[in-house]
Chain A
Amino acid sequence: MRGIVLVIVMLWYAIGGAAEKEKRWWEKREARKPDIYFPHNVHMPVMKQEGDVCMLCHSFQKTTETDPKVLEALSAIANEPLKAVCHDCHVVERRAPWRCDLCHPDKTKIWPADHDFDYVRHHGHAARRNEKACRECHLDLSYCTDCHFRRDVSGIGYHPLGYITLHGMEARTMPSNCGRCHNNFYCDRCHARRR
């Protein structure tokens, strides 16, 4: 009986090990970076202009390395373009669309930790302190002016007119949305008064 259990355990590990072994670098990448959207097809004509369609990102350069483990690690690095390569066109030179959410559908994955909660109330101080840091992501000035120069609504202009009558609904269904800009004290300013 003990032997059968041992064989089952060994088989389990063998199958598990084989499954792990079959994982290629791109599968591991997909697990690590599920939030990055990269449409290959639209990049191909652009890459052709740059001189290498596939090999600019997925290098087939000569190598004298022979150790499979080193090569695996090196190939993963060579194959996996990260921020510097993507941002060269999309951010630095802006030859490509520079809307963050085109490639980062979930912006909460890339924004700084201080953006998580109540940041709208503090962003003014941060912007005055280091505007350059804001511009690392907010490339378009309209990101600021869309709110600050808006004249068709009262207040800071983030919510549509009449939102005060509807806000309770959203606060109940998606309280984290409110939390991005407001803290409890903001709610209490009105709600505590009524209690």
Chain B
Amino acid sequence: MRRTFLLACWFGLQAAAAAEEKPKVPPLHHLVEVTVPETMKVDPALPLPADRKLVCRVCHGIEDIDKMEFDEVDKDDPKFLRGGPYRRLTDFCFRCHDRERHRRPNVHAMLDDNGEIIEENCRYCHRKVLKRDRRYRLDEIELRAPVDKLCWGCHLKTPHLNALVHQVKPSDKVKEQRKRFLAEHPEVLLPLTADGRVTCITCHTPHPPGVLDEKLPAARQAATAEVEEAPVYADSPWAATIAEDKRERLAELSRRLGRPLDYRYRQIQKEALLRLPAKDGQLCRACHVFDE
């Protein structure tokens, strides 16, 4: 009995030591200690060993990163990823992976050249292809993920400024105005999540014109651009004034963060996949009204 206990302790200690040797990586970290196939062209600036084994130092420039706890690693260090800092994480990925091969399809482009539905695209979000002329409730459309999280499969939670501040339960004033607007405009939908929060599809429609029967409120949208090109921005005579307006505050925020921040106003020219036009303020004013 005593011998078994001692053996168990020894194995336990060995396992703990082994676990300590292996660097802890966060979930969704790239595979480590795999052999990079010969077919993959690795950027020669990355120090891939002769045996082509993917170890920490191939991607990370921070010395002894493999001996650090994950929380201790300074992810803002330009050496965190070799050749950094990167504006987009994927810019680093494409030093080895082929950018073109990993380009995602635009599933919102749901019609083929003949105007027929590309059903494969429907199934990215819906479990089954639904009828295009029937009005469904949100709980009937068999989404693959909760409506407020589905878009994040491809889009950032924060794809544009003001996205994050909108993803909340609206104030009573806004709620009242939205209700009033929808009562006056039954041809429009501005859906909220089940618990009453604003989400991507409150303002955006995922379906371009022609996918749903145009008599349905879900089909109602502002589309002055093709799905593939929208949104289209153009330079604005206001850009210099707005840059001056923000200059000091942006510089202060950049100083605090220790990295440059970019903000350049460009005027929206064409829009798509919006439930109402935003350029002329219709979409905003569905919920936001002012006494004067």
Contact = CB atoms under 8 A, between A and B. Distances in A.
A86 B251 CA distance: 20
Interface residues on B, range: 35 or more
Contacts of A39: 290, 292
A30 B141 CA distance: 42
Contact of B246 (A24, A48, A52, A77): A77
Contacts of A61: 160-161, 233, 263-266
Interface residues on A, range: 35 or more
Which 10 A-B pairs have CB atoms at the shortest separation, nearest pair first?
A53-B281, A84-B245, A40-B290, A39-B292, A54-B284, A84-B244, A85-B245, A54-B281, A77-B249, A88-B241
A195 B242 CA distance: 60
A70 B292 contact: no
A74 interface: yes
Chain B interface mostly helix, strand, loop or mixed?
loop
Contacts of B163: 60
A56 interface: yes
B158 interface: yes
Given A54-B278, A78-B263, A82-B245, A72 B164 contact: yes
A164 to B, nearest CB: 41
B131 interface: no
B162 interface: yes
B159 interface: yes
Contacts of B156: 64, 66
B267 A75 contact: no
B238 interface: yes
Interface string A166-184: 0000000000000000000
